[in-house]
Structure 1
Amino acid sequence: MRWSEVECTDVRELRGPLAVVGGVTGVGWDEFVRITLGSGERRHGLVLEVDRDLAVLQVLEGTAGIDPTAVRVAFASSPLRIPVGPGWLGRVCNGRGEPIDGGPPVFGAAEAEVGGTPINPVRRVPPSEPVLTGVGAIDVLTTLVRGQKLPIFSAAGLPHLELAVQIAAQSTAGGEEFSVVFAGMGLTHADASFVRGALAERSAAGELVLLLNTADDPVIERLLTPRLALTVAEHLAFDGGRHVLVVMTDMTAYAEALREVSAARGEIPARRAYPGYLYSDLASLYERCGRIRDRSGSVTVLPVLTMPAGDITHPVPDLTGYITEGQIVLTREAHARGVYPPVDALSSLSRLMRKGAGPGRTREDHLDVAAQLLAALARARQVRELADLIGRPALSPTDLRYLELDEAFQLGFLAQRPDENRPLDASLALAWEVLRTLPRGQLAMIPSELLDRHGVA
C-alpha cells in the first residue's frame, strides 16, 4: 500500500472512536489511514467524512491513550485493501484480519478492497441448488439455497450461537468444493473459545476461515469484521470456484456498533436511535451474496441476530426481513421444553426453497412432504387453542390425532443433538413418520402414489 509522503499532525479533536484531523488535502471517503503515536505505536483508521480541510477518521483500535499533540497521520490514497485467496483457509484471525492462531500474516496473490460492491443485478444468476446443513428442521422445511441470504432470528438465552456453529461445521454443497467463513462479532471470550473448539476440525481440514471480534475489542472493529468476511468469501467463490457459506453472528452487535459511531458523529438518530441509513448499510452487506453468470462459485449468507426482548418489529430484524429471502425463527416455547434446535416452523420461511429443492435437486417427495407437514402443524396449533377453550375431552378423534402429530414433530423430528449431522434422507424419513400419525384422508397435499410408496394406510 502506497502511503502519502506528507503526514498531518493537526489533530483537532478525539471523540470516542473518532478523530478529527485538519489541514488535509486530496483525501477521499473510505481512504485507509495510518496513525503513528508519539510512542511509536501504530494504529489504523478509515476516513468517514471530508469537509474542506477537515477529515473525520474512525480509528480501528480506538482513540484511548492518544495524545493529540504528538500524532502523525498518513493517508493511503486508496480504501482499505486486504490480500485474498486460499491462504485464508484454516486461519483464525481477529475482526481486523490479524492472525490470533500464532501463524504468520495472511498472504495472497491479489488484493481486494474491503468495501466491496453489491452484485450487478444483470449478472446475477437465480439460486438453484441446495446447501445442506445437517439440521433436519432447516433442510426439510426452510431449505437453504446457494446464493441465498437467510437470517436466523433469535433472542437472548436461546442457543443461536450453537446452531450457527453447528451449521458452519456440517454444511455441504453436494460434494462440490465448499468453504465456510465464520464472522463472530461482540462475542464473549467463552463464546469465542467455544466457536474455535467446535470448528477446529473443519479449520484443520482447510475449509474454514474464522474471524472473531470479542466484546472487549474496539467497537469500530465490529463494523469491519463482516466486510472482511465477505471480501474473503467473494474471492474464494468467484475467483476460486468454491461454494462459500458466510455465517455472521451477531448482526445486532454490528448494528449497535453502527449506532455508537453515528452518535459520536452527531448524526440525527432515527428509530430507536439507530442511524437513518441502517437499512442501506445492512443491504450493502447482504446484497454481496449470490451467484454470478459465467462463474462457478456462489456466496450464501446466514446472518444471525438477536431480537431485543424478542421483538421482531425491532429495527434490526425488521429491516433485515425486508432485505433477505426468508427467516429461521427460534422460539422460547420449544427451548423451554428442552427441544434443540428450538425452531418455530410456522414462523420460519425460505422464499427460495422451491428453487433449490424437489426433483433433481433434493428428493421427489421433499416439497410435498414439507407443505403437508406445515399445513398439519398449522391445524395442530388451531386444535391446541381450541382445547384451551373447550377442554381436551371435547375434541374429535381427528383433532386428537393432530395433537399427537404436534408432539411427534417436536420430539421425533425437530429435536436432534447439537453435534448430530442428520442426512436429508434421514430427516425426510422422520417427517414421514410424523405424518403417519394422521389418517390418510388428512394428507391431501401429497399425491396418492407417494403415499402408497411410503406405506401410508
Structure 2
Amino acid sequence: MTALYREGFRRVEGISGPLLFVRGIAGPACGELVAVESGSERRTGRILQIDGDLSVIQVFEGTMGLAPGSVTVWLERDVLRIPAGDGLIGRVFDGRGNPLDGLSAGFADEFLAVGGSPINPVRRSSPDIFVETGVSALDLMNTLVRGQKLPVFSGAGLPANELAVQIVSGARIPGSEEPFLVVFAALGITRREAQFFMDSFRKSGALRNGVFFLNLAGDSTVERLLTPRVALAAAEYFAFSRGYNVLVVMTDMLAYCDALREVAAAREEVPGRRGYPGYMYSDLAELYERAGCIAGAPGSVTQIPIITMPDDDMTHPVVDLSGYITEGQIVLDRRIQERGVYPPVDVLPCLSRLMNKGIGRGKTFPEHRALADQLYASYARAREVERMRLIVGDDGLTAVEKQYLGFAAAFEKTFLGQGGARRTLAESERSAWKCLETLPRSELFKLPESYVAENLGYSALPREP
C-alpha cells in the first residue's frame, strides 16, 4: 500500500454504530481504505458512501470508545486486498483475510482486491458438468452443476452446519483432471460452531484441500460484510488464475443480511421489508453472480450458500430474494428430522434449475432424469396417501396405496437417511432402486421398460395388466 497522507482529516460530524461521518475529505473514493487514529489507538476502515463532502466510513473494529473530537482519519489510497498464492490452501483466516492458525502470512504471490472483477456476460459459458457432493438427495434428484449457485434453506436448529461439513468433505467432479478446491466461509458463528467446523474438517481431511474464512459472532459487523467478498476473491483467484474448480460454501447468509440491516439502520436509511434495506437484492446478487464459468478457460466457481429461515418461513426476504437470484434450492424440513432422518431434505420443494444440463448420457447415466422424475412422482403420491389416511384410516386405503406408504418409509429411511456417510452417484442409484422395489411394476411408469427390467431382474418387458 502507498504511504499515508501527511495531513489527516478531523471533521468527524458523528458516530453511529460502526460508522463514522466525516466532512472535508479530499478526493475520497468508495471502498477506499482509511486509518482511524484516536490517541495512541489505531483502527482501520473503508469508505462506504460519499455524499457531497460527507464521507461515511465503516470501521472494522467498531467505534466503541471513539469520540468525534479525538479522531483523525488518514486515507491510504488503496482498497482492501488479501494475499493470494498456493500458501492459501490448507489455511484458516478471519473475515478480513488475516491468519487465524498462527502461521505466517508471508506466502503471497500477489494481492487481490476483495471486490473482484465481474465476469463479462459475453464470455460466460453455460454450466454443464456434474459436481458430486456425496449426498443422494442432491446428486440424484437435485444435481449440482459446475458454475451453479444452489442455496440450502434451513430452519433454525436443523443440521445445516453438519450438511455443510458433509458437502465440503465429499464434493468432487468425477472423472475430471482439473484440480478441485473448496472455499468455506462462516459468518457470525459462535466459537463452539467454529470449533465444530475445524474439528470436522481436520477429521475428514478437507482442511488440507481448502481455504477457510471464519467470522465469529463477536467480530465486527463490518467484517461480516467483508467475509463473503474475501472468500469469493480467493475462489476467483484459484478458479480463473490457476484453473481450479472451486466450490464455495457460505453459511449463514442470514447473518450477512442482518449485518447489512444493522449498517443500514446506522445510516438512517428508509427500511424495506422487515427492516432490511431496499438494495439487499442487488447486494446479494453482487455476491451470488460471482459464480460461473468462462468460455474457453479452465476453472469455475460454484456456490452453495446456506440460509436460515426464521420461523421456517420461505417467504422471509433473505430467503425469498436468494431464491430469485440463484438457480434452485435445497430445503431442510423439521418434520423429516423429527422422524430421525439425516440429512432431513424435503425433496418436493427442492429444485435445481440447471440439473438437466449436467446429467444424462456421457455425463452421469442415461436414465438419470427419468429415475429422478420417478422418485419425485412416487414420493409426492405417497405424501398424498399419508394425508388421505388421516381422513379414511388404513381400512380406506387400497393395496397399492398401502405400498406407497411403504415406499415413503423406505425412501426416507434408506435413500434420504444416509447419515454422514458419503455416497457415490452409483450408490445413490442403487439406494433408489431398493426403495422402488416396494412398488408394483405398473407404478414405475416414468422409467424405460428396459431400465426397469435390468434393475428388477426381469427378463421379459411387457407390463403387468
TM > 0.5: yes
| Post-superposition offset of 1:379 | 0.8
| Post-superposition offset of 1:203 | 6.3
| Post-superposition offset of 1:373 | 0.5
The residue that corresponds to 2:64 in the other structure is 64
The residue that corresponds to 1:273 in the other structure is 275
Identity %: 50
Which runs of structure 2 are paired with 1:262-341 in the superposition (5 Å)?
262-341=264-343
Which runs of structure 2 are paired with 1:323-402 in the superposition (5 Å)?
323-402=325-404
Deviation per residue, 1:195-241 (Å, 9 max, x gap): 01111256676311110011111111110000000000001001110
Which runs of structure 2 are paired with 1:154-169 in the superposition (5 Å)?
154-169=154-169
Which runs of structure 2 are paired with 1:192-271 in the superposition (5 Å)?
192-200=194-202, 206-271=208-273
The residue that corresponds to 2:52 in the other structure is 52
| Post-superposition offset of 1:106 | 5.5
TM normalised by structure 1 equals: 0.97
Work out which of the residue numbers 177, 180, 186 in structure 1 matches 2:179: 177
Point out where structure 1 has 5 or more consecutive residues left out of the alignment: none
Q: Is 1:28 matched up with 2:9?
A: no
Q: Structure 2: how far apart are the matches of 1:25 and 1:47?
A: 13
Residue 141 of structure 1: SS of its match in structure 2? Answer: coil
Deviation per residue, 1:115-171 (Å, 9 max, x gap): 224322211110011111111111111111100000000011100011011101111
Q: Structure 2: how far apart are the matches of 1:351 and 1:243?
A: 20
| Post-superposition offset of 1:300 | 0.3
Q: Structure 2: how far apart are the matches of 1:82 and 1:171?
A: 26
The residue that corresponds to 1:442 in the other structure is 443
Deviation per residue, 1:404-440 (Å, 9 max, x gap): 100000111111222x111111111000111111111
Change (3 A) 1:37 1:221: same
Q: Structure 1: how far apart are the matches of 2:82 and 2:299?
A: 21
Residue 100 of structure 1: SS of its match in structure 2? Answer: coil
Q: Structure 1: how far apart are the matches of 2:16 and 2:432?
A: 56
Judge conservation of contact 1:117–1:284 (CA < 8 Å) in 2. Answer: no
The residue that corresponds to 1:422 in the other structure is 423
**1:411 is matched by which residue type in structure 2?**
K
Judge conservation of contact 1:354–1:367 (CA < 8 Å) in 2. Answer: yes
The residue that corresponds to 1:16 in the other structure is 17
Q: Structure 2: how far apart are the matches of 1:201 and 1:44?
A: 36
**2:367 is matched by which residue type in structure 1?**
D
Q: Structure 2: how far apart are the matches of 1:280 and 1:78?
A: 24
Q: Structure 2: how far apart are the matches of 1:86 and 1:360?
A: 33
RMSD of aligned Cα (Å): 1.4
Judge conservation of contact 1:150–1:326 (CA < 8 Å) in 2. Answer: yes
The residue that corresponds to 2:461 in the other structure is none
TM normalised by structure 2 equals: 0.95
| Post-superposition offset of 1:12 | 2.3
Q: Is 1:112 matched up with 2:112?
A: yes
Q: Structure 2: how far apart are the matches of 1:121 and 1:163?
A: 32
Q: Structure 1: how far apart are the matches of 2:168 and 2:37?
A: 38
The residue that corresponds to 1:94 in the other structure is 94
Q: Structure 2: how far apart are the matches of 1:3 and 1:257?
A: 31
Change (3 A) 1:119 1:216: same
Residue 327 of structure 1: SS of its match in structure 2? Answer: strand
